[in-house]
Structure formats: C-alpha cells, structure tokens
C-alpha cells in the first residue's frame, strides 16, 4: 500500500510537471497535495513496517517527537490543500469568466504558502495537545485501526480519486510513457494522409 501511494503520487507530479496543458491552478494544487501525501505517509509507514518486521514497538523520545511533528505538519497541510482546492473549484464554477484573473499565479503561490505557514502554527499546537491528552483514554485497538485508515488507506486512494480518473492526467501519462498513437487517424491499418496546404 505504501508503494502504491508513493508511485501513484509521483506519477501525478510527473504528469503535471511535464505537460504544459496541466500548468493550471487546479493541477498546481493537485501536484502539491500529491507531494504532501508522499511526505505524510513517509513519516509513519516506514517505521510501522520496521516495527512489524522486528516485532518491536519501541521508539526513542526524540524519534517520537520528530515523527509527531512531521505527522501533524503534513496532516494539517493535507487538510489545508483540500480547502484551497475547494476554493479553486468554487471560483471555477461560480465565476468562470473571471477564473484566470482571480486564480493568477501570485494568488496560487500565496495560497500554498499560507497553507504551509498555518501547519506549522495552528496544527502543531492544537493537535499535539489533543493527541497527548487523549492518548490514555482511547483503546489501543481502535486507535490502531483509525491510524491505519488515516495514514495508509486515505493517502493511497487520493491519486485514484483526485487525478488518475481524470482524462487530462491519463493523457499526460500516456505521453510520458510513449503510448500515444501516431499523428493522423488510423482505421484498420490505414493511416489518413496529411493534406498539403
């Protein structure tokens, strides 16, 4: 599941960055969301896999604090990018004629920067307090199931939900891997010749 998450999100980043038709605000935010999903899953899953393999749940205090910091950072970023993407879709649907003027590159950059600044500050403080205060009250089994769903399953499904079902992304990936056909229409082995001007 971890490999599917990383590879799916890397394919999205590769498709968006290599295809100039996808250099729009929507795909810019999607590319950032994919990067955050890779970072989010990489904060916990490798350690989890080591724990499963070694049958040990031990972690150092410094390792725990570091893991919690990045877990909260990228988890909060995930939420903020989903909010930014929702705003992008709102502008596209409610103000389609002004979309390119409103969602210019400066605003897109500011929205991404604000998302980064607001995890660090808001989520680092509040989530850490909630998590540490409620750690003793939850059962370990229900916490483990919820953690796996949130940290493994959701990021793995994001590439399929947000982009790999998207025709523009599919087209870009086909171009990258050289799966596009030759120019012209091919019908039963006959290629339509190009007309001369």
pLDDT at 164: 59
Q: Which domain holds residue 59?
A: 2-191
Q: What is the mean pLDDT of the chain?
A: 77
Q: Which residues contact 38 (CB under 8 A, 6 or more apart)?
A: 5, 6, 9, 10
Type and span of the H or E element at 186: strand 186-187
Handedness of CA 99, 104, 107, 110 (dihedral sign): positive
pLDDT at 170: 79
Assigned domain for 111 exists: yes
Is the pTM here over 0.85, yes or no? no
Please count the structural domains in the chain: 1
Residue 9: C-alpha distances to residues 16, 82, 156 (Å): 11, 15, 8
Dist. CA 132–CA 90, nearest whole Å: 36
pLDDT at 40 over 80: yes
Assigned domain for 113 exists: yes
Assigned domain for 90 exists: yes
> Which residue would you say has higher pLDDT here, 138 or 19?
19
Contact 6, 41 (CB under 8 A): yes
Assigned domain for 151 exists: yes
pLDDT at 134: 55
CATH classification at residue 125 = 1.20.1070.10
Assigned domain for 92 exists: yes
Q: Give pLDDT tens digits for 75-131.
A: 888 888 888 888 998 998 898 898 888 888 888 888 888 877 766 555 455 555 556
């Amino acid at each position: 599941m971890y490999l599917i998450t990383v590879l799916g999100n890397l394919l999205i980043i590769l498709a968006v960055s290599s295809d100039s038709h996808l250099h729009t605000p929507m795909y810019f935010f999607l590319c950032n969301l994919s990067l955050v999903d890779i970072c989010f899953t990489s904060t916990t899953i490798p350690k989890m896999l080591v724990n499963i393999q070694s049958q040990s749940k031990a972690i150092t205090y410094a390792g725990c604090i570091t893991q919690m910091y990045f877990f909260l950072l990228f988890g909060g970023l995930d939420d903020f990018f989903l909010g930014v993407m929702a705003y992008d879709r709102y502008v596209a649907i409610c103000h389609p004629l002004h979309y390119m003027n409103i969602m210019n590159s400066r605003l897109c950059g500011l929205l991404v920067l604000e998302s980064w600044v607001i995890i660090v500050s808001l989520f680092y403080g509040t989530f850490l307090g909630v998590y540490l205060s409620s750690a003793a009250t939850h059962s370990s089994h229900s916490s483990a199931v919820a953690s796996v769903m949130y940290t493994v399953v959701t990021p793995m499904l994001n590439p399929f939900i947000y982009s790999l079902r998207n025709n523009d992304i599919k087209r870009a990936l086909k171009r990258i891997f050289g799966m596009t056909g030759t120019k012209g229409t091919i019908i039963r082995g006959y290629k339509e010749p190009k007309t001369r001007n």
